[in-house]
Amino acid sequence: MFVRVPLDRIRDNPFQTRADYGDVAGLAESLLKLRASRPETSGLLQTPPARVILDDGARILGPPAYSLACLRDDPTAVVELAAGHRRLRAFAQLAAAGHAEYATFPVDLCPLDDEEMADVAWEENAKRKDLSAIEEAEAMQRAMACFGWTQAELGRRWGLSQSAVANKIRLLGLPDDAQAAIRAGQLSERHGRALLAAAAKSQRIYHAVADDFRGHDLRASDQADLGVGLLPGPADVARHER
């Protein structure tokens, strides 16, 4: 059910682990260009799905019409986005710039449960392909903890192999500085796995391998190749052990 909701009554998907939504200025500009042809949505090409919850987190059950009635009649009811977080931030930017129509955000109210919210968050991020491996691992770990999924069950649900899930989650065992470097794109996922292998040998080897990785620019298309080239082989491990 289509409805426009005031920005201050909208919350992010609780299963969305993305920390950085990037610069939305270009998206905001695109919305302004499209609003004349799509006045109902103020330029949005697709209305994001959302659900109604109470401010204490309790989910409102029932069809969309009931959710809409609760949203209108209960001041503690808010909308929780399943997707569309960058679009929401673009609307907020335009509203702050004085474009009054962007003070409300169009959503499609749906009866979504928590598992479906987690699925939509993962699908949205998979399409963008710029979520860090640490953020992916956190999303996996949270879903498994919340829903009791095994790694194999999560993999089947999200289109991943069990080994891919296991390798991602293992990255959460890295020290905070290494996780921060992966978040920032300064270390690749391959580097993270190499550091885990080094840490299994000893902390001294871990720090030596980490020092070897520092200073490499892993941006752009050569990231994967650098990751392969910097994985510690037997000779590297032997060198660090000496």
pTM of the predicted protein model: 0.76
Domain segments of the chain: what residues?
2-130, 174-241
DSSP 6: E
**Span 139-191, pLDDT tens digits:** 999 999 999 999 999 999 999 999 999 999 999 999 888 899 888 888 889 88
Strands (E), the chain: 2-6, 10-11, 49-54, 77-81, 104-109
Both structure tokens of 196: 């885990």
For 20, 65, 89, the CA distances from 183, given in Å and listed in that order, are 10, 41, 21
Lowest mean pLDDT among 101-110, 115-124, 127-136: 127-136
Average pLDDT over residues 37-64: 91
Residue 39: pLDDT above 80? Answer: yes
For 86, 155, 157, 158, the CA distances from 161, given in Å and listed in that order, are 29, 5, 10, 9
**Span 177-208, pLDDT tens digits:** 889 988 888 888 988 888 888 877 777 767 77
Please choose, from the candidates 17, 120, 126, 145, the residue with its C-alpha nearest in 3D space to the C-alpha of residue 153.
145
- How far apart, in whole angstroms, are the C-alpha atoms of residue 234 and residue 132? 28
End-to-end C-alpha distance for the chain, whole angstroms: 66
